[in-house]
Amino acid sequence: MPNALFEPGLSGRLWPIHLKPYDDELLSSWLVRLSRAYGMEAGRFGASISRHSAFWNRDIDKGIDDNVLQVLIDHTATPPARVLETTLSGYRGFPARELYGNGLSAWILSIGLRGGRRHRPWLQYCPYCLQDDDDPYFRRHWRLVFVTVCPPHRCRLLDRCVACATPCNIHQVPSDAHAVTCCSRCQFDARQAWAPTLANTADRHHVMQFQTSLVEALHRGWYPLSQAEAVSTEDYLFVLRQLGRLLITRNRAQELRRGFCGHLGEPYFEPSFPSSQGRAIEVLSVADRFALMLLLGWWLDDWPDQFVAMCAMAKLTRTDLSRDFSFQPDWYEEAVDQVARGRFAGMKFASYGATSSVASASGEIQQAL
């Protein structure tokens, strides 16, 4: 691609090849497809349109670089709203303040930048979706922490090359590789991978439903907390992350996981973190996040009864539920008040696909804890 195409004097003119983003395509994926269309390495292409040599040293998918977005609007004749929809800031219900800063952003898979390279599995994929594509591309929702399965193909997503375990760094795939789906290290084609099939059970079905509800809530800005109440998606995600931390990083997290897993009949799991520091949901593998979302989806089902009942059985206190949580929406505070008052006698709570009384389950929970 001639460098002249990126001269300032051509501002507002279309590039000779101006591919449009596909449905739900991620900004990174769109940029890599554009660079490959011109036979350029993605690093050089990114540097050319942004004037930054370290273009991929930032999480561009957050959508906070207005200059890059404007270049794409001007040179690909893509409407501004459509360009924004390739970014995470394009989600109506995403917590906007989480997109800024150089650290972790809640609910976005961490790129794990070190030495100018991305070391963590920041992009997931379904090999069967990639197989179905005439022109393979990577979806925006594959960057979300709570997304762990592909409902159409009823399988768990993958977050690394199955041949060499390298993270899916599509921006490092050589321009002469036969497809963007090739591993940047060993060239294995992700379309040839096998993804674990989800069992046809109530809990797996519920995980898919929970994930779908969360993604839909990001698009519209509100989440159906119950049949009678809808709440801000942003607020719901803050609460969900608070409870997720209780299950993986807080005191008694191991006991809580063991108790919850025991009640659901799920195998116990111990989340694996890349280091002793920065223990956060955003750095977990897809397998660990799948197990975590299974527990969270069940815990928050039938709000607030199931939540209050399980908190009571696990002997969680107001302090446990509110620690380091400065902003608590009213609906969450009300549920925490119920826990603090001990309002659980006679309540019902459910395993996936079945309902049992709190009294009958108390022994199971306490034994596991």
The model's pLDDT over 121-147, given as tens digits with 9 standing for 90+, comes to: 999 999 999 999 999 999 999 999 999
Distance between CA atoms of residues 125 and 127, nearest Å? 6
Has residue 228 got a pLDDT over 60? Answer: yes
Specify the pLDDT at position 88: 96
Instruction: Copy the structure tokens of residue 240.
Output: 């969900």
Amino acid at residue number 115: G
What lies within 8 Å, CB to CB, of 55 at 6+ separation is 43, 46, 47, 49
The pLDDT, as a whole number, for residue 360 is 35
pLDDT at 8: 44
Q: What is the structure's pLDDT at 276?
A: 63
Cis peptide before 304 (omega within 30 of 0): yes
Q: How many CB atoms lie within 10 A of CB 87?
A: 23
156: left (phi over 0), alpha (psi -120 to 50) or beta: beta
Kindly report the number of other CB atoms within 10 A of residue 158's CB atom: 22
Instruction: Check: CB of residue 182 under 8 Å from CB of residue 189.
Output: yes
343 — pLDDT class (breaks 50, 70, 90): low
At position 136, the amino acid (one-letter code) is P
Mean pLDDT (the chain, rounded): 89
Q: What percent of the chain has pLDDT over 90?
A: 78
The answer to whether the beta carbons of residues 262 and 365 sit under 8 Å apart is yes
pLDDT digits (tens, 9 = 90+) for 33-81: 999 999 999 999 999 998 778 899 999 999 989 999 999 999 999 999 9
Q: How many residues does the chain have?
A: 369
Average pLDDT over residues 239-251: 93
- In the structure, what pLDDT confidence band is assigned to residue 149 with cuts at 50, 70 and 90? very high
Q: Write down the pLDDT at residue 113.
A: 83
**Mean pLDDT of the region 319-344:** 91
Q: Which of 367, 343, 366, 345 is nearest to 357 (CA)?
A: 345
- pLDDT grade, residue 11 (50/70/90)? very low
Q: pLDDT category, 106, cuts 50, 70, 90?
A: very high
Give yes or no for a contact between 161 and 140, defined as CB atoms under 8 angstroms apart.
Answer: no
Nearest to 21 by CA among 127, 139, 111: 139
Asked if pLDDT for residue 277 goes beyond 80, the answer is no
**CA-closest candidate to residue 110, choices 293, 321, 275:** 275
Backbone conformation region of residue 201, classed left if phi is above 0, alpha if psi is from -120 to 50, else beta: beta
Q: Strand, helix or coil at 161?
A: coil
Tell which wins on pLDDT, 100 or 147: 147
DSSP 296-338: HHHHTTTTTHHHHHHHHHTT--HHHHHTT-----HHHHHHHHH
Count CB neighbours of 56 within 10 A.
Answer: 24
What pLDDT digit, counting tens, does each position of 302-330 carry?
999 999 999 999 999 999 999 989 889 99
Instruction: Indicate whether 366 pLDDT > 60.
Output: no
Residue 7 pLDDT exceeds 90: no
Q: Using CB atoms within 10 A of its CB, is residue 325 exposed (0-12), middle (13-18) or buried (19+)?
A: middle
User: Would the CA dihedral through 240, 243, 248, 249 be positive or negative?
Assistant: positive
Residue 47: exposed, middle, or buried by beta-carbon count in 10 A (0-12, 13-18, 19+)? middle
Note the pLDDT of residue 350. 53
Q: How far apart are CA 170 and CA 172, in angstroms?
A: 5
Answer whether residue 251 shows pLDDT above 90. Answer: no
Q: Is 51 left (phi over 0), alpha (psi -120 to 50) or beta?
A: left
CA distance 91 to 249: 28
DSSP state of 355: E
Q: What is the pLDDT of residue 96?
A: 80
Q: What residues have CB less than 8 Å from 77, skipping those under 6 apart?
A: 14, 18
